[in-house]
A and B are shown apart, each in its own frame.
Chain A
Amino acid sequence: LAKTTQPISMDSYEGQEVNITCSHNNIATNDYITWYQQFPSQGPRFIIQGYKTKVTNEVASLFIPADRKSSTLSLPRVSLSDTAVYYCLVGESNFGNEKLTFGTGTRLTIIP
């Protein structure tokens, strides 16, 4: 499993776009990149998953460069409710029994 490195914390103002970058230098060919969001006293919630280039859904975008050694989660126009911890995970998504290893995550605080 590829190890991931993220900033420990970030602050941003409401209405701004927030980009959180994750480094995964040892990503394997079959690995996908997945981001989760966790609010206090709740389980993590799936945000977005990708393999390469750009993926966009209703809540976020995920940018993955050609070498795939990093990825950037982009949250458009954040609000106070986006204050949470964001985890980047890397692993193979072809099987359902792979163990997930959580890194430190990034604690995002949105300022009014």
Chain B
Amino acid sequence: GAVVSQHPSWVICKSGTSVKIECRSLDFQATTMFWYRQFPKQSLMLMATSNEGSKATYEQGVEKDKFLINHASLTLSTLTVTSAHPEDSSFYICSASTYRENLYGYTFGSGTRLTVV
């Protein structure tokens, strides 16, 4: 089945530094990928929609200059958290749309636990 690989699985960084998270579709091409953030005991919140070859679309309240998204190929989307602060500590998850039994579904990466100290 479709696999979305997300790296790193966890990262600890110092305040003020930048962190890049990669999301790869391993056995299919993903024109559209999505980035979510999840705080402890809460649901997933959509941050942005990443489209290959074009600018990402951000949800209301998400700072596009802080969360840089690049979708340069049909198999790779990256999320860069710039000038990270402790409040950016969260679980970040990517997903890609997949075609299954004549319907579109969504396959998720394993997530990245970001801790900013």
Q: Are B46 and A43 in contact (CB under 8 A)?
A: no
Secondary structure type dominating chain A contacts: loop
Beta-carbon contact of B113 and A100 below 8 Å: no
Q: Chain B contact residues: over half helix, strand or loop, or mixed?
A: strand
CA distance A41 to B46 in the complex (A): 17
* Residues in B whose Cβ lies below 8 Å from that of A103: 43
Q: Which of A11-19, A75-83, A90-98 contacts B (4 or more CB under 8 A)?
A: A90-98
Report if B78 contacts A (CB, 8 A): no
For chain B, the count of residues having a C-beta within 8 Å of the partner chain is 29
**Chain A interfacial residues counted at CB < 8 A:** 24
- Choose from B45, B93, B104 the contact partner of A43 (Cβ within 8 Å): B93
Evaluate contact between B32 and A100: CB separation under 8 angstroms: no
A53 at the interface (CB under 8 A from B): no
